Structure 1
Amino acid sequence: MKEIKNEEFGGERPLFASHGLRLDNVTVHAGESALKECSDIEAVNCRFEGKYPFWHVDRFRISHCTFTPGARAALWYSTALVMNDTLVEAPKMFREMDGVSLSKVRIPDAQETLWHCRNIICRDCEVENADYLFMHCTGIRIDGWRQKGNYSFQYCRDVEIRNARIESKDAFWNTENVTVCDSELHGEYLGWHSRNLRLVRCHISGTQPLCYADNLVLEHCTFDADCDLAFEESSLKAVVDSHITSVKNPTSGSIQAPSIGEVIIDGNVKAPADCKIILNDPS
């Protein structure tokens, strides 16, 4: 493998079509597409300042690097990325990729990041300003995750999340086959129009959670007091270990909780309208 060490590049495509290349302490200044159409690339202790540095790249490793705000849209149309211990200040990262492994990556401006990607692994990562994160992604595995940003995980499929704190309005809309365990989910309108959403030992806050959901499962979750008007038009099996402020017009299945402040079943309830309400503490 060829090595480039302690050098600086800039301009248009300075390392275009490189293969089998290791970059050590390299700075890529303003310009475009520094490593386009490359393969088998390793970057260590590097700094990327120009736009689109990694487009159409196959098999690459990035560690202890920094992507400045000028390196926007840095990784698109690529495969088999392993990134660790890296600071990503640039927005709109990771698009149309297959095989993304992130470990100890921090993204303070994660707006419109991770769109249309497949086979994603994230461990011990932190993202902020993460509006519209993970749009239309499939095959996501997350363990250790801190997120602030709205409208996340929309239209995602085949997702497993553990040990996360997610602050996101409208999270998990129109998702399919999603499991979240041992996590905190904070934000309004959680999981609307989802299919096969399963929440295990999660703490939930925010108004009108989990409505219009098909085959929703909750296992030993807890709700904040602001979780009102829950489960409207949802088919579900829910075991909640805390008081629920209010439930409105669930379609079918069962809801088990110690107590429920208000159960609203009115003329707008959808058939079969036979959801069972089970109180663990009838008093």
Structure 2
Amino acid sequence: MELIRNKSYGGERPLFASRDLRLENVVILPGESALKECSNIEAVSCEFQGKYPFWHVDGFRVENCTFREGARAALWYSRRLVMKDTRVEAPKMFREMEDLTLENVVIPDAQETLWHCKGARLKNVEVANADYLFMYSSDISIEDYRQQGNYSFQYCRNVEIRNAVIHSKDAFWGTEDVTVYNSEIHGEYLGWHSRRLRLVNCRISGTQPLCYATDLVMENCTMDADCDLAFECSTLQATICSRITSVKNPRSGSIKAEGYGEIIIDKNLKAPGDCVIS
């Protein structure tokens, strides 16, 4: 493997189509597409300032690096990434990617990040300003995760999340086969139009949660006092270890809770309308 150490590169495509290359303490200055169409790349203790440095890359490892704001859209159309101990300050990262691992990564501006990705594994990752995170992605595994940002995980498939704190309005809309364990989810309109969403040992807050959901499962969850008008038009099996402020027109299944402030069943109840509430 060729080693490049303590150098800087700017302009357009300075390392285009490189193979078997290790970068140490390298600075990619403002410019475009520094490592486009590359394979088997290692970047250690590097700084990326220019746009689009890793596009169409097959097999690369990024450790102890920094992506500055100017390195926006840095990793697109690539596969087989391992990123560790890295700070990503640029928005719109990780698009149309396959087989990526992020560990000990901080993304303070995660707006429109991780779109159309398949096979993503995140461990000890923290994101902020994360509006529209994980749009249309699939086969995702997440552990020890912190998030601030709205409209996350929309239209995702096959997701497993453990030990997370998620602050997100409109999280998990239109998802299929998502399971969340031992986590906190805070935000309005959680899980609308989802299919087979499963929440285990989770704390939920925010108005009108889990409406229009199909085959929703909740096991040993708690719901804060602001969780009103829950489960409208949903089919579900729910065991809630707290009082629920209000439930409105669940379609079918069962809900068991410690108590209810209000149960609303009105003329807008949809068939079969046979949910057992106890």
| Structure 1 equivalent of residue 244 of structure 2 | 244
Q: Matched residue of 1:70: which SS?
A: helix
1:254 offset after TM fit, Å?
Answer: 0.1
Matched residue type, 1:253: G
Matched residue type, 2:25: N
Q: 1:144-163 residue pairs with structure 2 within 5 A?
A: 144-163=144-163
| Structure 2 equivalent of residue 48 of structure 1 | 48
Q: 1:1-283 residue pairs with structure 2 within 5 A?
A: 1-278=1-278
Matched residue type, 1:91: P
1:89 offset after TM fit, Å?
Answer: 0.1
User: Residue deviations 1:221-266, cap 9 Å, x none?
Assistant: 0000000000000000000000000000000000000101100000
Matched residue type, 1:248: K
Matched residue type, 2:135: M
1:134 offset after TM fit, Å?
Answer: 0.1
Q: Which runs of 5+ in 2 are unaligned?
A: none
Counting aligned pairs with the same residue, the percent is 69
1:163 offset after TM fit, Å?
Answer: 0.1
Q: Matched residue of 1:170: which SS?
A: coil
1:28 offset after TM fit, Å?
Answer: 0.4
1:10 offset after TM fit, Å?
Answer: 0.3
Matched residue type, 2:241: D
Task: Tell me the number of residue pairs that the alignment of Structure 1 and Structure 2 aligns.
Answer: 278
CA–CA distance in structure 2, aligned partners of residues 275 and 124 of structure 1: 39
CA–CA distance in structure 2, aligned partners of residues 178 and 28 of structure 1: 38
TM-score of the two chains, using structure 2 as the length reference: 1.00
Matched residue type, 1:109: D
Matched residue type, 1:249: N
Q: Matched residue of 2:217: which SS?
A: strand
Q: Matched residue of 1:103: which SS?
A: strand
1:133 offset after TM fit, Å?
Answer: 0.1
CA–CA distance in structure 2, aligned partners of residues 169 and 15 of structure 1: 41
CA–CA distance in structure 2, aligned partners of residues 128 and 208 of structure 1: 24
User: Residue deviations 1:166-200, cap 9 Å, x none?
Assistant: 00000000000000000000000000000000000
Q: Matched residue of 2:41: which SS?
A: strand
Matched residue type, 1:232: E
1:106 offset after TM fit, Å?
Answer: 0.2
User: Residue deviations 1:142-172, cap 9 Å, x none?
Assistant: 0000000000000000000000000000000
CA–CA distance in structure 2, aligned partners of residues 75 and 147 of structure 1: 20
Matched residue type, 2:138: T
Q: Which runs of 5+ in 1 are unaligned?
A: 279-283
CA–CA distance in structure 1, aligned partners of residues 8 and 138 of structure 2: 37
CA–CA distance in structure 1, aligned partners of residues 261 and 237 of structure 2: 19
4+ aligned runs moved over 3 Å, structure 1: none
CA–CA distance in structure 2, aligned partners of residues 12 and 263 of structure 1: 63
CA–CA distance in structure 1, aligned partners of residues 34 and 262 of structure 2: 60
CA–CA distance in structure 2, aligned partners of residues 272 and 36 of structure 1: 56
Q: Matched residue of 1:227: which SS?
A: coil
User: Residue deviations 1:42-99, cap 9 Å, x none?
Assistant: 0000000000000000000000000000000000000000000000000000000001
Q: Matched residue of 1:239: which SS?
A: strand
CA–CA distance in structure 2, aligned partners of residues 171 and 207 of structure 1: 12
1:20 offset after TM fit, Å?
Answer: 0.2
1:122 offset after TM fit, Å?
Answer: 0.1
Q: Matched residue of 2:70: which SS?
A: helix
Matched residue type, 1:149: G
Q: Matched residue of 1:180: which SS?
A: strand
CA–CA distance in structure 2, aligned partners of residues 257 and 33 of structure 1: 55
